[in-house]
């Protein structure tokens, strides 16, 4: 049975491959310490779970949901944006409910990219940006993120002929996988560049609430004029420990939201309304101490890991956001061989940087999704087994 050409070009999904290696090691009896996928290890807050239980028992929620998302959930997103970023959104046409932000990120390429069109994709980056381009038969132009430039793209380095053919630019700050952050000055430069070349500016802001040491990540929609060309993707997955719930949203330019909606309403029938009701509880009624407490937990883990790695010869700065640590591999390794050594010699899973794009070579990503005792044990294994 012949598969479509677009499918033949798609590599195995990075985290599915990592999960397979993890299962195989566990079957061999290895005590695995996984810094792999960025999946919070803490439970969803009980008040959100209780709201979901209540909503599931509500008969009106058993019918088809609104295709664009319930007006109540979209209004909650709008209210949250006003409180968090002082950004005003019309819930009717500037907010759309997503079945997790990943779904919307993948679909927006189908709405705006034709064969031969360019997309401007960070490198390294969340793999879905490139895969979305491939599914739309577009051409991805990489914007390298380097340590020398604080893992921010250099817009001046984008060739003019590529910029003129580009339909979409994707940014992601706080950043996965590098944990880099951006300020409003940088976002203003991105908005100006995309306006100059009539490019849709997409910002993946999944980690907006995961920040440390007093840092508060901005929204790209805070830039004057951004609403003319920009959309921002948000997610309840990381801030509220709701990865399995698949609850996200897209906000911003009404024309872009409308184009995304054409794809969504023809491909899926929307998110279960009970999940949206639980999302309203998370956005509007969560204990205000919850997110700061989660950030304190991740910050403590960050400190243990980075201090431990630095004691073995790394020279890492403390990250300001996300629950990732992006570390160069030791001398004598590339990203794949270091990951293999970590698994085979230490029973530790880290993610190879090259899996996020060519510029990710020479790095690995650690996710802080395990408790401090396991992080300390992993560091001890590295000292003993890798002689670092």
In order along its 388 residues, the chain shows pLDDT tens digits of: 888 877 777 766 666 666 777 777 777 877 889 998 889 999 999 999 999 999 999 999 999 888 889 999 999 999 999 999 999 999 999 999 999 999 999 999 999 999 999 999 999 999 999 999 999 999 999 999 999 999 999 999 999 999 999 999 999 999 999 999 999 999 999 999 999 999 999 999 999 999 999 999 999 999 999 999 999 999 999 999 999 999 999 999 999 999 999 999 999 989 999 999 999 999 999 999 999 999 999 999 999 999 999 999 999 999 999 999 999 999 999 999 999 899 989 999 999 999 999 999 999 999 999 999 999 999 999 999 887 6
Whether residue 226 sits in one domain with residue 350: no
Predicted structure pTM score: 0.94
The whole-number pLDDT of residue 40 equals 93
Give the domain CATH number at 310. 3.90.1150.10
For 22-27, the CB contacts below 8 A with 24+ separation are 22/349, 25/343, 25/347, 25/349
Give the domain CATH number at 144. 3.40.640.10
Between vectors from CA 144 to CA 143 and to CA 148, what angle results, nearest 5°?
A: 135
Whether residue 339 sits in one domain with residue 197: no
Whether residue 267 sits in one domain with residue 170: yes
Encoded tokens for 382: 């590295």
Q: 3-state SS of the chain: helix, strand, coil percent to 5?
A: 50, 15, 40
The whole-number pLDDT of residue 14 equals 63
Whether residue 185 sits in one domain with residue 130: yes
Task: Please give the DSSP secondary-structure letter assigned to residue 146.
Answer: -
Task: Please give the DSSP secondary-structure letter assigned to residue 211.
Answer: B
Overall domain count for the chain: 2
Whether residue 81 sits in one domain with residue 22: no
The whole-number pLDDT of residue 142 equals 97
Whether residue 311 sits in one domain with residue 256: no
Whether residue 154 sits in one domain with residue 78: yes
- Measured CA to CA in angstroms, residue 52 lies from 90, 222, 243, 245 at distances of 26, 32, 15, 10
Listed residues 285, 305, 336: the one ending a domain: 285
With tokens 């006003």, the residue in question is 82
The whole-number pLDDT of residue 23 equals 78
Whether residue 264 sits in one domain with residue 294: no
Q: Are residues 321 and 179 in contact, defined by beta-carbon separation less than 8 angstroms?
A: yes
Beta bridge partners of 239: none
Q: Enumerate residues 6+ apart whose C-beta is below 8 A from 229.
A: 191, 194, 195, 198, 199, 200, 201, 253, 256
Encoded tokens for 156: 């001046």
Listed residues 257, 285, 313: the one ending a domain: 285
Whether residue 204 sits in one domain with residue 123: yes
The whole-number pLDDT of residue 16 equals 67
Whether residue 307 sits in one domain with residue 273: no
Question: What are the two backbone dihedrals, phi and then psi, of residue 101, each rounded to the nearest 5 degrees?
Answer: -65, -25
Residue numbers of the domain that contains 296: 5-43+290-385
Listed residues 236, 268, 285: the one ending a domain: 285
Which parts of 118-180 fold into alpha helices (H)? 128-135, 160-165
Whether residue 52 sits in one domain with residue 21: no
Encoded tokens for 119: 């997309």
Whether residue 150 sits in one domain with residue 93: yes
For 188-194, the CB contacts below 8 A with 24+ separation are 188/223, 188/224, 189/155, 190/155, 190/220, 191/220, 191/223, 191/225, 191/226, 191/229, 191/230, 193/155, 193/158, 193/163, 193/169, 194/169, 194/229, 194/230
């Amino acid at each position: 049975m012949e598969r479509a050409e677009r499918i033949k070009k798609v590599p195995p999904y990075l985290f599915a491959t990592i999960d397979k290696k993890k299962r195989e090691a566990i079957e061999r009896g290895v005590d695995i310490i996984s810094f792999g996928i960025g999946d919070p290890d803490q439970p969803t807050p009980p008040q959100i779970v209780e709201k979901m239980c209540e909503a599931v028992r509500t008969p009106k929620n058993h019918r088809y949901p609104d295709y664009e998302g319930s007006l109540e959930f979209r209004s909650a997103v709008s209210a949250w944006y006003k409180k968090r970023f002082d950004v005003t959104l019309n819930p009717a046409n500037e907010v759309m409910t997503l079945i997790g932000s990943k779904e919307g990120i993948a679909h927006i390429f189908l709405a705006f990219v034709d064969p031969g069109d360019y997309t401007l994709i960070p490198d390294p980056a969340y793999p879905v940006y490139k895969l979305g381009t491939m599914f739309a038969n577009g051409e991805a132009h990489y914007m390298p993120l380097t340590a020398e430039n604080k893992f921010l793209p250099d817009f001046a380095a984008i060739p003019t002929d590529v910029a003129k053919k580009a339909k979409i630019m994707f940014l992601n700050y706080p950043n996965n996988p590098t944990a880099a952050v951006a300020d409003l000055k940088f976002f203003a430069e991105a908005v100006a560049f995309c306006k100059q070349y009539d490019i849709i500016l997409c910002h993946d802001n999944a980690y907006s609430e995961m920040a440390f040491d007093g840092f508060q990540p901005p929204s790209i929609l805070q830039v004057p004029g951004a609403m003319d060309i920009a959309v921002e993707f948000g997610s309840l997955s990381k801030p509220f420990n709701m990865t399995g719930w698949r609850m996200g949203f897209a906000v911003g330019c009404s024309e872009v939201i409308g184009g995304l909606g054409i794809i969504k309403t023809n491909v899926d029938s929307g998110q279960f309304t009970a999940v949206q009701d639980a999302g309203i509880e998370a956005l509007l009624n969560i204990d205000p101490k919850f997110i700061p407490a989660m950030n304190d937990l991740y910050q403590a883990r960050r400190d243990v890991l980075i201090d431990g790695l630095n004691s073995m010869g790394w020279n890492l700065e403390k990250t300001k956001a996300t629950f990732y640590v992006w570390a160069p591999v030791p001398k004598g390794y590339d990203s794949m061989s270091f990951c293999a050594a970590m698994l085979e010699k230490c029973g530790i899973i880290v993610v190879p940087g090259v899996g996020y794009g060519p510029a990710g070579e020479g790095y690995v990503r650690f996710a802080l999704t395990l408790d401090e005792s396991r992080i300390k044990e992993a560091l001890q294994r590295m000292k003993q087994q890798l002689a670092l």
